[in-house]
A = this chain, B = another copy of it.
Amino acid sequence: ISLTGYIKSIRKQKNITFGVLSDGSTQPGLQLVLPNSGSVQLSNGCTVAVNGTLAESPRRQPELHVSPDGLRIIGPSPPSTYPIQKQALSTEYLRTNVHLRARTDKIASTLRLRARIKKILEGWFDEEGFTHVHTPVLTGNDCEGGGETFGVVPADFFGSEGGDGAASHLTVSAQLHLEAMAWALGRVYTLNPCFRAERSDTSRHLAEFWMLEAEWNFPATQTFTTPGPAPATLDPRSHLMQVCDTVEHALKHVLADCLPSSPDSPDSTSSAPISLPQQDLSFLSPSPSHLIALARAADPSTSWARISYTHALEILNAATKDSTTPLRLPPPEWGSSLASEHERYLAETYARGPIFVYDYPASIKPFYMRRNDGAKIDEHSDGANRQTVSCFDLLIPRIGELAGGSVREERYEVLERVLSDENVARASPDPDAPALSTKDHPLNWYLSLRKHGSSPHGGFGIGFERLVSWISGVENVKECIPVPRTAG
């Protein structure tokens, strides 16, 4: 057998040298056995071509026995400068060698797992009748508000191309463009890069990250080809729950693919050549509790917990009074965001797994989320103005928010009023800001989608690096992407 690859590690004994040869495609490399005669000097990282015979070994992996003239060094690797050695290297050290760090077992396994998750997740959406759409990176929209976007130079590069306004910064979300495509193509999804110019250096934030986003009309109804029960329900609650169902189904599908099949289930009939994701996941997560938690989340027979924001506050208030659950922060007042400590408490301690929290206050969510009707504003109203929106966050242990989505505001008048209010609020520091309903407002094209055949619709986004982090058990999202870009 003839192979090429690079040497991941070597171990010299008196008469014989063991080396691990890898081409990068699998987690365990191949064990080389060669006599110490001859002049060939192996070193970590060097590239070789070998000729030898495969043999069973006392360990589980086969060994490749190589005669002295069966090995040729193609590219040497001076040990004095090669930074990837066998001993454990800190993730911080490896980040200073991003172009080489994927040669370590841990990063390579994480990146192979990432590729697998992409393939399985996109495959699920394809099978479910979603059409993939490449949404633009250069855009005039600031979908989430707040203005933490990257500008692009030259700012005047793009002429006015109608509807969309002049593109001048990097996208923070594909959602608005996906909505336009959902009317034209039906169910649509994308896995696209997004950019946030926040300077937050945490284990959960990147300046450039990838997000799977989906968007479709009439979430609560069946698809075109299958006979449905009733015509379009207009109850936003049904639509919201269907969006949650879609997220839960997609993620359980991915989890089931990555996890080793349980002993009492029949073997997978997948045509994949070998169970690459299981191999890499087993290497990354030797902790049984992590694998058990993933398996429980993947269980198709039980649903993930779903509670309202208001109910979540009650749970957090009760937990704060209980001295056995020492939350350091008091729960927020109604109308404020949950702290990440509270998000993790809900997932880790209350639900012991993924949990959907829905119906957040309108004041802390973006303009495009559908306002809930008065009767459903708040199950514990004290008469105060407690406007909520039909949205959800999916919280998971350790990471907090993994996904978020909503029913979108489909009513022209309501959306126009919300945009006007925001526009007025924003205009105050700058009296020259364009008034809404002029042709120049950058979101007029989006508003016009409600003028012509509007319909109930919704969608969501899943943070892709956080998903990889959740499944792999790799703590920091910087190690879950090949080349991380973070605020320095």
Contacts and interface: CB of A to CB of B under 8 A. Distances in A.
A181 B487 contact: no
Given A4-B221, A228-B2, A410-B75, A163 B96 contact: yes
Dominant SS at the A interface?
A: loop
Interface in A178-209: 180-187, 192-193, 195, 197, 199, 207-208
A25 interface: yes
Interface stretch (A100-108, A396-404, A422-430): A100-108
Interface in A35-56: 45-47, 49-51
A334 interface: no
Given A134-B482, A452-B46, A152 B154 contact: no
A224 B25 CA distance: 8
A96 to B, nearest CB: 3
A297 B4 CA distance: 33
Given A132-B115, A154-B197, A483-B135, A187 B25 contact: yes
B231 A485 contact: no
Nearest to A133: B482
Contact of A74 (B49, B177, B232): B232
Nearest to A114: B134
A107 B131 CA distance: 14
B96 A186 contact: no
Given A98-B164, A150-B152, A158 B487 contact: yes
A412 to B, nearest CB: 9
Contact of A224 (B5, B47, B181, B485): B5
10 contacts: A23-B217, A45-B452, A74-B456, A75-B454, A96-B163, A99-B163, A99-B445, A118-B134, A150-B153, A164-B483
